[in-house]
């Protein structure tokens, strides 16, 4: 699964669990009837909700799997640290006459200056912040300390590891538990064979995998969950 560029990935809220764009209630109801038998309206609704929970968890897990690696975060901090140090050196090297020119502009500027941050126009209280060249240097010095602290929290570098398909494995396991629960009181076998269960898992999980641009073969994971066997497969990470 290709990882997003570090500056393109953003954390999400509860919307990351939403799969309403992938499955309608009618689709899930038909899926339940086809694979898990006919149930009361109440039980069908319960199964449907659990399917949405399972697919939502998978979607969130796959999304957060794409978050920037330790190396990417270290590289970003290094770039910011270098730029901060260069700006500090430039300010310290500035001649007195140029410094007075900038500070004169700071004295004459309005109390609030409109600036753009993250493509949004905001007002910044300049005079309230007491902003001047010396103040800018102090802020940058503090920023340097933030960067140093953040670098330490990254921890020691480690060799890259193969991505484990834990999110897919958890989803398959939850689907098996759901199958066992739904089969009670029906003619559906409580312990599914690999053929019917594979079809069920594929119909439930493939829309999420495709939406997340994730190429995972579920065959080995399904076999492991059903029979406790771990089949080696380069696409499953097992």
In sequence order, the 6+-apart residues with CB closer than 8 A to the CB of 133 are: 91, 94, 99, 102, 103, 106
Total-model pTM: 0.67
Residue 26's pLDDT is what?
95
Provide the residue count of the chain: 238
Residue 174's pLDDT is what?
96
Residue 66's pLDDT is what?
83
Distance of CA 67 to the CA centre of its chain: 5
Domain C-terminal end among 132, 153, 174: 153
The pLDDT tens digits of the residues spanning 7-65 come to: 566 778 889 999 999 999 999 999 999 999 888 999 999 999 999 999 999 999 999 88
Q: Are residues 93 and 201 in the same domain?
A: no
- Asked if 197 contacts 179 with a C-beta cutoff of 8 angstroms, the reply is yes
Residue 1, in any domain of the structure: no
- Asked if 91 contacts 137 with a C-beta cutoff of 8 angstroms, the reply is yes
User: Over its length of 238 residues, how does the chain's per-residue pLDDT go in tens digits?
Assistant: 445 454 566 778 889 999 999 999 999 999 999 999 888 999 999 999 999 999 999 999 999 888 888 888 888 899 999 999 999 999 999 999 998 888 888 778 777 778 888 788 888 776 655 567 888 888 899 999 999 999 988 877 776 656 678 899 999 999 999 999 998 877 787 788 899 999 999 999 999 999 998 888 899 999 999 988 654 544 444 4
- Distance (Å, rounded) from C-alpha 238 to C-alpha 231? 7
DSSP, res 157: -
What SS3 state is found at 213? coil
The count of structural domains within the chain is 2
CA distances from 149 to 46, 74, 152 (A): 47, 12, 5
- Asked if 165 contacts 236 with a C-beta cutoff of 8 angstroms, the reply is yes
Residue 78, in any domain of the structure: no
Structural domain containing residue 63: 14-68+164-227
Helix ranges restricted to H, the chain: 25-36, 41-65, 70-93, 96-108, 126-129, 133-153, 166-182, 194-211, 219-227
Residue 210, in any domain of the structure: yes
What SS3 state is found at 128? helix
- Asked if 4 contacts 66 with a C-beta cutoff of 8 angstroms, the reply is yes
What SS3 state is found at 208? helix
In sequence order, the 6+-apart residues with CB closer than 8 A to the CB of 90 are: none
Q: Are residues 58 and 105 in the same domain?
A: no
Domain C-terminal end among 107, 132, 153: 153
- Distance (Å, rounded) from C-alpha 146 to C-alpha 138? 13
């Amino acid at each position: 699964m290709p990882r997003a560029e570090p500056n393109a990935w953003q954390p999400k809220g509860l919307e990351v669990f939403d799969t309403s764009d992938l499955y309608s209630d009618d689709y899930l109801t038909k899926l339940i009837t086809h694979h898990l038998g006919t149930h009361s309206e109440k039980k069908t609704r319960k199964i449907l909700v659990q399917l949405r929970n399972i697919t939502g968890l998978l979607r969130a897990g796959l999304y957060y799997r794409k978050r920037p690696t330790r190396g990417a975060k270290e590289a970003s901090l290094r770039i910011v640290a270098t730029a901060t140090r260069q700006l500090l050196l430039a300010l310290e090297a500035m001649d007195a006459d140029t410094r007075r020119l900038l500070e004169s502009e700071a004295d004459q500027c309005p109390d609030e200056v409109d600036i753009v941050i993250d493509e949004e126009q905001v007002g910044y209280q300049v005079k309230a912040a007491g902003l001047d060249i010396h103040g800018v240097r102090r802020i940058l010095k503090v920023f340097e300390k933030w960067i140093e602290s953040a670098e330490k929290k990254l921890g020691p570098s480690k060799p890259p590891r193969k991505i484990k398909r834990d999110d897919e494995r958890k989803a398959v396991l939850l689907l098996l538990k759901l199958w066992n629960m739904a089969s009670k009181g029906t003619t559906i076998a409580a312990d599914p064979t690999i053929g019917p269960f594979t079809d069920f898992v594929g119909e439930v999980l493939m829309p999420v995998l495709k939406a997340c641009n994730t190429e995972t073969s579920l065959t080995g994971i399904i076999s492991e969950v059903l029979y406790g066997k771990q089949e080696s497969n380069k696409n499953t990470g097992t």
